[in-house]
Copies of this chain bind each other. A is one copy, B any other.
Amino acid sequence: MGAVLTSIAGAVLHVVNNNPAARNALSVEYYEGLRAALARAADDPAIAAVVLSGAGGFFCAGGNINVLKTRAAMTHDERVAAINGLHEVIRAIRDCPRPVIAAIEGGAAGAGASLALACDMVVAADDAYMALSYVRIGLTPDGGATSFLSEFAPRQLVNEILMLGDKLSVSRLHALGAVNRLTAPGKAVDEALALGERLAAMPPAALAAIKKLAQTARAQPLDAQLDAEVQAMATAQGGAEAAEGINAFLEKRRPDFTRFRQ
């Protein structure tokens, strides 16, 4: 079996990190499989959303420590290139026009937590944890961890999480808004697929525009974000999705947006 298993449930592409013996530690094979899956999701009209999970009841243990050990012998530029392999995956999740949902069972550690927090929504089993314990082996965070943590945690909490490396309960993350749904253990994937199915009923171009707006909102001033909203809204108001959505509303029927996926 490959490093990545993909399957389709309804209109949702389910991508499984399939290396349970290593608690789904990140690998170049996983990066390649995930990027291919995201590219397919973007292009395939049958796919409305993507769910990421890990095989064997654990989301992802992050970097493989034996691989990390080999980095010391590389040049700085070679290390930069290797780390950018992860960052290209993070950017691919960000740039995928379909919503990407992380389904966390067990735990998400190190760059596995970065990967989960890069997603547009997060579902987690209520006994799962995140941990960003890079510091304990003399490393610093990657995969956008510092950026993603700062979206829901003030600097004092970001420092605590990263300087001590203690486990973070997903219920704390839920209270802070970074985890969208808590489920019973073993039910995170089902809930994520159901969420994906709800998204599949939504207008795809509007979802892609919302995803982009949510990414730029935090770090740019109100004026710039207002301008981005105007462009997105003026485009939407002239488009087929709005015509269908407004007509359906006025005709008191459910809209059918599925035909707009392309």
Chain A residues in the interface with B (C-beta under 8 A): 65-66, 68-69, 71-72, 74, 76, 79-80, 83-84, 87, 90-91, 94, 99, 117, 119-122, 134-160, 162-164, 176-180, 198-199, 202-203, 206-207, 209-211, 213-223, 225-226, 228-250, 255, 257
Contact = CB atoms under 8 A, between A and B. Distances in A.
Contacts of A69: 246-247, 250
A228 B151 CA distance: 17
Taken together, the copies of this chain in the complex come to 3
A215 B134 CA distance: 18
Contacts of A202: 135-136, 163-164
B121 A160 contact: yes
A237 B68 contact: yes
A253 to B, nearest CB: 12
Contacts of A176: 154, 177
B136 A237 contact: no
Main secondary structure of the interface of A (DSSP, over half): helix
Contacts of A231: 80
Nearest to A199: B163
A66 B250 CA distance: 9
23 contacts: A76-B234, A76-B238, A80-B230, A83-B233, A99-B159, A99-B163, A134-B206, A135-B207, A141-B213, A141-B233, A147-B217, A148-B155, A149-B217, A151-B155, A153-B177, A154-B176, A154-B177, A155-B214, A158-B217, A163-B210, A218-B218, A219-B219, A219-B220
A255 B136 contact: yes
A114 B216 CA distance: 17
Contact of A71 (B154, B159, B237, B255): B237
A210 B246 contact: no
A62 to B, nearest CB: 12
B207 A139 contact: no
A140 B206 contact: yes
Contacts of A223: 91
Shortest beta-carbon contacts, A-B, top 6: A138-B245, A138-B241, A137-B245, A152-B154, A150-B217, A157-B177
A117 to B, nearest CB: 8
A233 B140 contact: yes
